[in-house]
Amino acid sequence: MTVTAHPVIELAGVSKSYQDVAALTAADLVVHRGEMLAVVGPSGSGKSTMLNIMGTLDLPSSGTVSIVGHAVEDLNDRELSALRAGTIGFVFQQFHLASGVPALDSVADGLLYSGRPRRERRRAAEEVLRRVGLGHRLFHEPQQLSGGEKQRVAIARAVVGNPPLLLADEPTGALDSRSGTVVMELLHELHEAGTTVVVITHDRDIAASLPREVRLRDGRIEHDPGTAAAAGALQPTGVER
């Protein structure tokens, strides 16, 4: 996957406080198209806050946030919802699959607000489920799936609309080591196919295995060698999403 000069995420001086508690302080971060990186830190370091801000699920107390060139503070709720729907795929530690709903329909629901007809949504869902190795589980409900299979369904739902950005919050946290390895391999495959991937994790081994590692502690970015490295590696051509 070729990194390009087009930022997907830009945080400038971003801080977030909840009452008198500073969850994130003066964070500067640029993620370019084509990158795959980890945001790593212990519990309470600010990872979840940064995820919520990068995903436009929360707004900063100060500083500016830009997602694919859109200044978040300039958007109203409807525009933010549209930005999320068309730009960002979310994968969480908990799979959030509705009981009794087959995998095919769980993934197709990721396109509910696309305006596409049901048959087309289900066709796209089947295609992406086969892509993640679950073509034989299309009509299985969550209780019939293993933990790793549930997470692959959740990933399929997140990427069925081909978002340029995937935010994965502790995607292996609820899985055994073998299933976790399969999920990480899948995220690498999605990245190679053109998706910009940000993995939020407390697992230092996972973080160290990715091309860029951003470390948080006490709400501050304490380590980010990737900014200069990414800038030096930028190329004028490459896969664009």
The verdict on residue 172 lying in a domain is yes
Closest alpha carbon to 159 in 54, 102, 87:
87
The verdict on residue 52 lying in a domain is yes
Q: Across all residues in the chain, what is the average pLDDT?
A: 91
Please report how many Cα atoms fall inside a 13 Å half-sphere around the Cα of residue 185, on the Cβ side. Answer: 10
CA distance 185 to 144: 23
pLDDT in tens, 115-151: 899 999 999 999 999 999 999 999 999 999 999 999 9
CA distance 203 to 103: 28
The verdict on residue 238 lying in a domain is no
pLDDT cut 70: percent of the chain above it: 92
The verdict on residue 241 lying in a domain is no
Q: What is the dihedral of CA 138, 174, 36, 80, to 10 degrees?
A: 70
For 178, the domain range is: 7-232
Phi, psi of 190 (to 5 degrees): -65, -40
The verdict on residue 48 lying in a domain is yes
- Tokens 């799979």, located at residue: 95
Please spell the DSSP secondary structure of 127-149, one letter per residue.
Answer: HHHHHTT-GGGTT--GGGS-HHH
Instruction: Note the pTM of the prediction, 2 decimals.
Output: 0.89
pLDDT in tens, 47-69: 999 999 999 999 999 999 999 99
pLDDT of residue 114: 81
The verdict on residue 1 lying in a domain is no
The verdict on residue 2 lying in a domain is no
Q: What is the CATH number of the domain that holds 104?
A: 3.40.50.300
Question: Does an H or E element contain 213, and which?
Answer: strand 212-217
- Note the residue count of the chain: 241
Q: How many domains does the chain have?
A: 1
Residue 78 CB-density burial (10 A; 0-12 exposed, 13-18 middle, 19+ buried): exposed
The verdict on residue 218 lying in a domain is yes
